[in-house]
Chains A and B, each alone.
Chain A
Amino acid sequence: MASAGGHWVQLSRLVAAFDGFDVQCVTTIKGARAPCGGRPVAIVRDGSQTDPMALVIMFAQLLFIVLKFRPSTIVTTGAAPGVFAVRLGKLLGARTVWIDSIANSEELSLSGRLVRKHVDLCLTQWPHLTDAYPDVQCFGSVI
């Protein structure tokens, strides 16, 4: 799961990690090609704190996708829909991975700080940030 734009580009760079798995990609803008897996990309509404109705719709769409696909693992590069995806996934028994955007070089994103204690693996792309957050690891960056 990744929002359109930079989050999606970063997730697309990680597809080698999912080779051979049954993958359902999810994003927020229609028309994107799935970078991996044979399934068409699923679309959810993009939401932010300022639009509660969009959040409700996004949550319902994610719930539908997670219940239908029943993922064993959910990997997200953010942003807001990724927070909902991993929290929902966790409740429904999936393992969850949050990968904070490479854009967040000075501190973890707000979304990352919200989810870091609730995911099974939380990654930053900046090694120096692992000092600030003991439960966050760094496997390197997407570039």
Chain B
Amino acid sequence: MFWVGHLILLSVGTQLPFDRLVRTVDDWAIATGRSDVVAQIGPSTYVPRSLKAFPFLAPQAFQELQLNATIMISHAGMGSILTAMEYGKPIIIMARDHRRGEHRNGHQLATAERFKAVPGIYVASDERGLVEHLTRLAELTGSEKLPSRAPASFTDRLRDFILRA
């Protein structure tokens, strides 16, 4: 796949629907006439009118989209957050709210809170905040690339434990 210019990648994971996020991004894309948004929407029930939406993309195709994306938008899932950090891409995240039935518990709200100070991560606390970030899309910048491996202090201790068997 080859993308000219911008590619915006929206993803909500594969396990649960997240209509609130998909609908907000779709409405914004329609209002601003954007046709460069690709979305992995999982089992979301909302049917996007403007997004190029797929319920599920194979890992390699999805990774290619992540590599080519100029910006990522996602639920507050660690897969998307860590990948954005590894690739140095700016990412807008909106947490699934368990009080609205979007997840089983509130861990995504905690994740958004913990990562909001990290450069390159733009937290939207609701749909309005999401649209505010989208309006300033050109100003969002990624962080310095995170090394693709965990700190050696972690993996060395883990390795020691395995070797002690």
Q: Mark B98-125, 1 if CB is under 8 A from A, else 0.
A: 0000000111101100100000000000
What is the chain A residue whose CB lies nearest that of B83? A9
A14/B155 contact (C-beta < 8 A), A29-B14, A72-B165, A103-B78 known = yes
Contact, CB under 8 Å: B155 / A16:
yes
Task: Identify which of B58, B77, B150 contacts A30 (C-beta below 8 A).
Answer: B58
The reply to whether the CB of A85 lies closer than 8 angstroms to some CB of chain B is: no
The binding surface of chain B is classed by DSSP as: helix
Q: How long is the Cα–Cα vector from A89 to B155 in the complex, in angstroms?
A: 21
A97/B85 contact (C-beta < 8 A), A10-B78, A73-B165 known = no
Q: How long is the Cα–Cα vector from A31 to B150 in the complex, in angstroms?
A: 23
Contact, CB under 8 Å: B158 / A75:
yes
Residues of B within 8 A of A75 (CB): 158, 162
Count chain B residues whose beta carbon lies closer than 8 angstroms to a beta carbon of A: 37
The reply to whether the CB of B60 lies closer than 8 angstroms to some CB of chain A is: yes
Contact, CB under 8 Å: A29 / B78:
no
| Min CB gap A35→B, angstroms | 9
A31/B58 contact (C-beta < 8 A), A5-B77, A106-B110, A141-B150 known = yes
Contact, CB under 8 Å: A46 / B15:
yes
Classify chain A's interface size: 35 or more
Contact, CB under 8 Å: B82 / A10:
yes
Contact, CB under 8 Å: A143 / B79:
no
Residues of B within 8 A of A123 (CB): 158
| Min CB gap B152→A, angstroms | 7
The reply to whether the CB of B149 lies closer than 8 angstroms to some CB of chain A is: yes
The reply to whether the CB of B159 lies closer than 8 angstroms to some CB of chain A is: yes
The reply to whether the CB of B2 lies closer than 8 angstroms to some CB of chain A is: no
A1-45 CB contacts (< 8 Å) to partner B: 4-10, 12-19, 21, 29-33
Q: How long is the Cα–Cα vector from A109 to B106 in the complex, in angstroms?
A: 11
A102/B149 contact (C-beta < 8 A), A17-B162, A29-B14 known = no
The reply to whether the CB of B13 lies closer than 8 angstroms to some CB of chain A is: yes
Contact, CB under 8 Å: A5 / B154:
no
Task: Identify which of A16, A19, A31 contacts B59 (C-beta below 8 A).
Answer: A31
Q: How long is the Cα–Cα vector from A48 to B154 in the complex, in angstroms?
A: 29
Known pairs A9-B79, A16-B155, A141-B151 / 16 extra A-B pairs, C-beta < 8 Å: A5-B13, A9-B82, A13-B148, A14-B150, A18-B159, A19-B159, A29-B59, A31-B60, A75-B158, A106-B107, A106-B110, A109-B107, A140-B150, A140-B151, A142-B150, A143-B146
Q: What 6 A-B pairs are tightest by C-beta distance, nearest first? A: A6-B78, A6-B79, A17-B158, A16-B155, A5-B79, A17-B155
Q: Would you list 22 pairs from A and B whose C-beta atoms are within 8 A, ordered by A residue? A: A4-B59, A6-B78, A6-B80, A9-B79, A12-B148, A15-B149, A16-B155, A16-B156, A29-B59, A72-B165, A73-B165, A75-B162, A95-B165, A103-B78, A103-B108, A104-B107, A105-B114, A139-B153, A140-B151, A140-B154, A142-B150, A142-B154
